[in-house]
Amino acid sequence: MRLNDIADIRGRADRNGPWYALIKESGIPMRDLRQTRHTFAIQAIKSGMYTLQGVSAVLGHSSLGIMVST
């Protein structure tokens, strides 16, 4: 399956995309795809497999300061 943009993962207006199928199948409470960014970042950093700079780049930040600002 080719994913050209976020709508291909999330689905269109009727919540029929792969993301919602995955949430339903996993049995976790419904949440929007955008709510997973923080979880991804924390888990990637905790794994020790990624640098802060690498995670920041994956998230599309223009600088590391965006991710580490208080």
Contacts of 10 (CB under 8 A, 6+ apart): 17, 19, 20, 32, 33
pTM over 0.85: no
pLDDT, tens only, 27-41: 878 877 777 888 888
Q: Which residues of the chain have pLDDT under 70?
A: 1-7, 12-14, 70
Residue 2 pLDDT: 60
